[in-house]
Amino acid sequence: MKHTEKELLALKEEVSQMWKLVLSQLEKAKQAFLNDDFELAREVVSREKRVNSFELKIDSDCENYIALYNPVAIDLRLALSLFKICSTLERIADFAEGIARHVIEENCEPFSAEMKTQLRIETMFDTAIEMFSDSYEALDSENTKLAGKILSKDEIVDEIYIHSIKILAEAIRKQMITAECGLHILLVMRKIERIGDHCSNIVEEIVFYIDAKVLKHHKNKVDI
Amino acid sequence: MAIMQKKTEQKIAFTFFRSLSLVVVAILFWILGFIIYNGAGVIDWEFLTTAPSDGMTGGGIFPAIAGTLYLILGSSMVAFPLGILSAVYTSEYAGNGYIIRFIRIMTNNLSGIPSIIFGLFGMALFVNTLEFGDSIIAGSFTLGLLTLPLVIRTTEEALRAIPDTFRIGSLALGATQLQTIRRITMPMAFPNIITGLILSIGRVSGETAPILFTVAAYFLPKLPQSIFDQVMALPYHLYVIATSGTDLEATRPIAYGTALVLIIIVLLMNLLASFLRKKFRKL
Amino acid sequence: MLETKEIHFYYGAFHALKNISMTMDDHTVTAFIGPSGCGKSTFLRLFNRMNDLIPDTHLTGQCLIEGQDIYQKTVDVTTLRKKVGMVFQKPNPFPKSIFENVAYGLRVDGIKDKNFIRQRVEESLKGAALWEEVKDQLKKPAFELSGGQQQRLCIARALAIEPSVILMDEPASALDPISTSKIEDLIHSLKEKYTIVIVTHNMQQAARVSNKTGFFMLGELIEFNDTKKIFLSPEKEATQNYITGRFG
């Protein structure tokens, strides 16, 4: 293996470490929210610092790699993709932290199981996390076939979010929950929805890296 | 210790080489010194400007000096154009085919032929067949043929020493091959060609055998009137007074003087060669 | 416009160029990259018929400049070479003055008008971004210039005969980085007026100076496309392996 290839693989390895960390943040945030687990939420908040320092490290490593090795073609695309993916991962981790903070700051009664099923909030969490781990799978196996699958999952997430607005509005009107708590829930769901969007961005970067196709800002991105 | 040993080996080897080259120089100085010591006394203005007299035991060597200069001039006029042009052809135009290789081998063989054979050939062709008689023109042609291989070879080597990048650079600017030779290759090769030419002149002035049957006169106190006249020449004169003069003992100083003059002429030629070379190299 | 149609080229029995068809537009810089011995320099030399100088070579196919086949019997090689200038790997100024070097092409063309020559020499030196450095020492021997200046002098020499195409065979490979960047800047400004074809071993250089890049391997033109495309997302795996250094 060439020296330059080793450098690039090391970079890829760092990103996958960060990926694992962010994934565990997401899962913990989900557990903390669904179970109102104060302790777990605190853990997520405190771990956010590690994610941030990861981002800085990968940023500078990418810069160094580009500056020193003048990569072209697939090497350049991978370096650029990793650079962007890394900052997206950081954003996703921010959302996980945000969700955890909601858990810490809100003062609501744990909402009813009926409401949970109605909102499909667990499905939403799971789908977003699946998107996230699938996109890792896509990068790791350099498989763009997964991309279509991931992008279609984003539609599910979006659909759940749009639906939740109605349900929450209804619940508030019927005074099943307080307006404050309703907004809290909506904000959390909004964050999950954003996580889905960011996963889509990651997938686009991966497709750019592997196939040199630019998917961004295309209308019908699903049918690759 | 191996390093010490290597160093000692080196020292011994180089001392040996150095002393060998010093021996060569010493021999040269010995010869020169011997001739100067014996010949310098005879040389004066009269020696250089008058004809021999008293059965070669007196007078000067002026006709022989003049004759040698004529022969240098004549053979140059034969050998230089012919040699340079054929060298230009073989090295610039002709590529590297069978014919060219054959020509090259033949040129080399030509330079290996003993000079006395040239003398005999010159006599047969120029003196007898073409009926030039014993004359400057017959001698010049003979000497010219003798030096031709040297001129061709040095010119070829001078041309080949010019890197192809210059030729290609010129051709790429739309110059023809002839323009390239005239404007780039020849001017660049000129200093080295000059050296070859002057070396060949040195050879001409020293040869005895080729002029023996074609031009040289035993004794001819007057200067030639045309190129069909005979002349005296320094090397032949030297040979004559050293071996078959009227009084060998009496002519001995004159022989040394003649030898010195011959050496000085060759030396001057070489000086001129290096002067011209330096001058042209500056351009 | 330069165009080749199904070019095959042989050195003796060696098949050096295999079926190459391509077009190069006016006022663009086209770079050829590829491993040593891939045929890129041979291909470059087709356009001013420098390969004619090598014995025992053989060509089939068409090589067109402005629609005219330059290998037809009616074409005069010296006229062609005045139209298609060339700059070589090692700077090769003639052992003449700076002025005479630039004037050389005009002189062999039979031009005698001194004012015209002087004017053209100045224009050419300006065009090669050398005028400011040498305007006071035009009589100085060209050998006394630095390597980078010598190379720009060779470019000026080529410009003096007003070619429409300039071929460059690794023009910066013998130069230091600063001289190299000057040559590259020069290439950028020259493409306003000339069509430039450059062969280079330095891929970054090809990426920096050219509009289009052709990748040669074993006598074949593997890929020919916009330089951006070649260096960001080449279509052929061989191209990618070569430019990313994974070759062989």
Q: Is residue C35 part of a domain?
A: yes
Q: Is residue C83 scored above 60 in pLDDT?
A: yes
B269 occurs within a structural domain? yes
Structural domains counted in chain B: 1
Residues 177-206 of B with CB under 8 A from C: 179, 183-184, 187-188
Looking at residue B59, its pLDDT comes to 76
- DSSP 8-state class, residue B135: S
Q: Which residues of C touch B176 (CB under 8 A)?
A: 78, 108
Residues of B in contact with C85 (CB under 8 A): 172-173
Q: Looking at the DSSP assignment, which residues form a beta bridge with residue C22?
A: C4
Measured CA to CA in angstroms, residue B197 lies from B66, B144, B235, C2, C124 at distances of 20, 11, 20, 49, 40
Name the residue with tokens 């002709």.
B94
Residue C246's pLDDT is: 79
Distance from C47 to chain B by nearest Cα, in Å?
11
Given an 8 Å threshold on Cβ–Cβ distance, is C154 in contact with B169? Answer: yes
- Please report, as a single letter, which amino acid is at residue A1: M
Residue B215 per-residue DSSP state? T
Helical packing angle, A179-211 and A73-105, nearest 10°: 170
Question: Phi and psi at residue C59, in whole multiples of 5°?
Answer: -130, 140
Top residue of C52, C94, C98, C170 to mutate, by most chain B CBs within 10 Å, is: C94
Query: C99 versus B252: which is more confidently predicted?
Result: C99
Rounded mean pLDDT, B101-123: 87
Looking at beta carbons, which residues of chain C come within 8 Å of A72? Answer: 203, 207, 231-232, 243-244
Q: For chain A, give the secondary structure using H, E and C.
A: CCHHHHHHHHHHHHHHHHHHHHHHHHHHHHHHHHHCCHHHHHHHHHHHHHHHHHHHHHHHHHHHHHHHHCCCHHHHHHHHHHHHHHHHHHHHHHHHHHHHHHHHHCCCCCCCHHHHHHHCHHHHHHHHHHHHHHHHHHHHHCCCHHHHHHHHHHHHHHHHHHHHHHHHHHHHHCCCCCHHHHHHHHHHHHHHHHHHHHHHHHHHHHHHHHHCCCCCCCCCCCCC
Judge: A74–C203 Cβ closer than 8 Å, yes or no: no
Residue B10 forms part of a structural domain: no
The closest of C231, C228, C217 to C40, measured between CA atoms, is C217
Mean pLDDT of C121-146: 92
For residue A131, the model assigns a pLDDT of 93
CB pairs under 8 A between B and C: 64
In sequence order, the 6+-apart residues with CB closer than 8 A to the CB of A194 are A95
Give residue B249's identity as a one-letter amino acid code.
E
Mutation for testing the C interface, residue in A2, A68, A74 having most C CBs under 10 Å: A74
Could you list the residue range(s) of the whole structural domain that residue C170 is in? 2-243
Is C95 a domain residue? yes
Please tell me which residue of chain B has the smallest CA distance to C163. Answer: B173
Q: Find the mean pLDDT for residues C193-213.
A: 92
Mutate to test the interface with A, among C33, C215, C227, C232 (most CBs of A within 10 A): C232
- Judge whether B140 lies within some domain: yes
Instruction: Tell me, yes or no, if B168 comes closer than 8 A to chain C by beta carbon.
Output: yes
Cβ of residue B24 closer than 8 Å to a chain C Cβ: no
Cβ contact B143:B236 at 8 Å: no
Rounded to 10 degrees, the C-alpha dihedral B258/B263/B265/B271 comes to: -160
Mean pLDDT of chain B: 85
Q: Which of C154, C41, A92, C35 is nearest to B170 (CA)?
A: C154
Residue A25 to residue A7: CA distance in whole angstroms: 27
Residue B229's domain comprises: 45-282
Task: Please give the average per-residue pLDDT across B153-163, as a whole number.
Answer: 90
The C-alpha of B189 sits at a distance from chain C's nearest C-alpha, in angstroms, of: 11
- C204 chain-A contacts, CB cut-off 8 A: 70
Q: β-strands C165-169, C195-199: how paired?
A: parallel
Residues of C in contact with B175 (CB under 8 A): 78, 104-105, 108
Strand partners, C223: C215
Q: Which of C33, C226, C236, C246 to mutate to test the interface with A (most CBs of A within 10 A)?
A: C246
Predicted confidence (pLDDT) per residue in B161-207, tens digit: 899 999 999 999 999 999 999 999 998 998 888 888 888 888 888 88
Chain C residues within 8 A of B165 when measuring between CB atoms: 88, 90, 92
Report yes or no on B23 lying in a domain.
no
Name which of A196-210, B52-66, C80-94, C178-192 the model is least confident about.
B52-66
CATH number at residue B145: 1.10.3720.10
Nearest by CB to residue C231, choosing from A2, A4, A73, is A73
Q: Is A41 in contact with A100 (CB distance < 8 Å)? A: yes
CB contact residues (below 8 A), chain A span 68-97, against chain C:
70-77
Give residue A112's pLDDT: 72
Q: Does A2 touch chain C (CB under 8 A)?
A: yes
C104–B166: do the CB atoms touch at under 8 Å? Answer: no
Per-residue pLDDT averaged across B261-266, rounded?
A: 88
SS3 B155: helix
pLDDT tens, per residue, chain A with 224 residues: 677 788 889 999 999 999 999 999 999 999 998 888 889 999 999 999 999 999 999 999 999 998 888 888 888 999 999 999 999 999 999 999 999 998 888 777 766 777 778 888 889 999 999 999 999 999 988 888 888 888 899 999 999 999 999 988 988 898 888 888 888 889 999 999 999 999 999 999 999 898 876 666 654 444 44
Q: Are strands C220-226 and C212-217 parallel, antiparallel or unpaired?
A: antiparallel
State whether residue B96 sits within 8 Å of chain C by CB. Answer: yes
Interface check A67 vs C, CB under 8 A: no
Asked whether residue C186 is domain-assigned, the answer is: yes
Please check the confidence at residue B30 and state whether its pLDDT lies above 80: yes
φ/ψ of residue C61, rounded to 5: 100, 180
Distance CA A72, CA A79 (A): 10
Give kind and range of the element (H or E) at residue B19. helix B2-39
Cα angle vertex B60, ends B55, B64, to 5°?
A: 95
Task: Report if residue C248 sits inside a domain.
Answer: no
Nearest CA in chain C to A209: C233
Binary contact (A76, C203; C-beta < 8 A): no
How far apart are alpha carbons B61 and B50 in whole angstroms?
Answer: 6
Considering CB atoms only, which of B95, B168, B187 is closest to C50?
B168
Helix, strand or coil, per DSSP, at residue B58: strand
Beta bridge partners of C17: C9
**Are the CB atoms for C98 and C145 separated by under 8 Å?**
yes
Counting CB pairs under 8 A, whether chains B and A reach 3 or more, is no
Q: Decide if B12 is inside a domain.
A: no
3-state secondary structure chain C: CEEEEEEEEEECCEEEEEEEEEEECCCCEEEEECCCCCCHHHHHHHCCCHHHHCCCEEEEEEEEECCEECCCCCCCHHHHHHHEEEECCCCCCCCCEHHHHHHHHHHHCCCCCHHHHHHHHHHHHHHCCCHHHHCCCCCCEHHHCCHHHHHHHHHHHHHHCCCCEEEEECCCCCCCHHHHHHHHHHHHHHCCCCEEEEECCCHHHHHHHCCEEEEEECCEEEEEEEHHHHHHCCCCHHHHHHHCCCCC
Q: Which residues in A lie closer than 8 A to residue C232 (C-beta atoms)?
A: 72-73, 76-77, 212
Chain C: give the shortest CA distance to residue B172, in Å.
6
DSSP code at position B216: B
pLDDT in tens, B82-102: 999 999 988 888 777 788 888
pLDDT at residue number B234: 85
Tell me the three state secondary structure of residue B224. coil
Residue B112 lies in a domain: yes
The residues that bridge with C3 in the sheet, in sequence order, are: C23, C64
Q: Which of residues 30-59 of B touch C (CB under 8 A)?
A: none
Closest CA to B78 of B146, B154, B173: B146
Adjacent-strand bridge partners of B216 = B231
Report which secondary-structure segment, H or E, holds B165.
helix B164-172
Task: Give the residue with greater pLDDT, B132 vs B184.
Answer: B184
Locus of tokens 């006249």: B229
With respect to residue C57, please indicate whether it lies within any of the assigned structural domains.
yes
- What residue type is A200 in one-letter code? S
Nearest CB to C232 within list A4, A5, A77:
A77
Q: Find all residues with CB under 8 Å of B100, minimum gap 6, and list them.
A: B90, B94
Q: For the residues B139-164, what does the mean pLDDT come to?
A: 90
Contact C232 A212 (CB under 8 A): yes
Residue B1 has pLDDT above 70, yes or no: no
Which chain C residues touch B96 with a CB distance below 8 Å? 55
User: CA angle at residue B274 from B269 to B279, to 5 degrees?
Assistant: 120
Q: Which residues of C fall below an 8 Å CB-CB distance to A?
A: 203-204, 207, 230-234, 239-240, 243-246
Least confident window among A114-123, B118-127, C94-103, C129-138:
A114-123
**What's the pLDDT at A215?**
66
pLDDT band at C16 (very low <50, low <70, confident <90, very high): very high
Residue type, C171: P
Cβ neighbours of C27 (radius 10 Å)? 13
Closest CA to C70 of C51, C87, C89, C55: C51
* Of the partner residues C86, C95, C107, the one whose CB lies closest to the CB of residue B172: C86
Question: Among partner residues A5, A70, A73, which is closest to C232 by beta-carbon distance?
Answer: A73
Average pLDDT over every residue of C128-147: 91
Residue B51 has pLDDT above 50, yes or no: yes
Mean pLDDT (whole number) for C198-227: 93
The domain that holds C65 is classified in CATH as: 3.40.50.300
Asked whether the predicted pLDDT for residue B230 surpasses 70, the reply is yes
- Which residues does chain A have within 8 Å of residue C234's beta carbon, measured at their own beta carbons? 73
State which amino acid sits at residue C146.
S
Would residue B57 count as lying in a domain? Answer: yes
| pLDDT the model gives residue A224 | 42
Q: What is residue B258's predicted lDDT score, i.e. its pLDDT?
A: 87
Strand order in the sheet with C68-69: C14-24, C2-11, C57-65, C68-69
Rounded (5°) CA angle B132-B134-B135: 70
Q: Does B94 touch chain C (CB under 8 A)?
A: no
Domain membership of residue B211 (yes or no) is yes
Per-residue b/e over B236-246, b at no fewer than 16 CB within 10 Å? bbbbbbbeebe
Q: What is the pLDDT of residue B128?
A: 86
Structural domains in chain A? 3-223 (1.20.58.220)
What is the ipTM score, two decimals? Answer: 0.90
Q: Which of C95, C108, C154 sits opposite B175 (nearest CB)?
A: C108
- Chain B: list its partners (3+ Cβ pairs within 8 Å): C
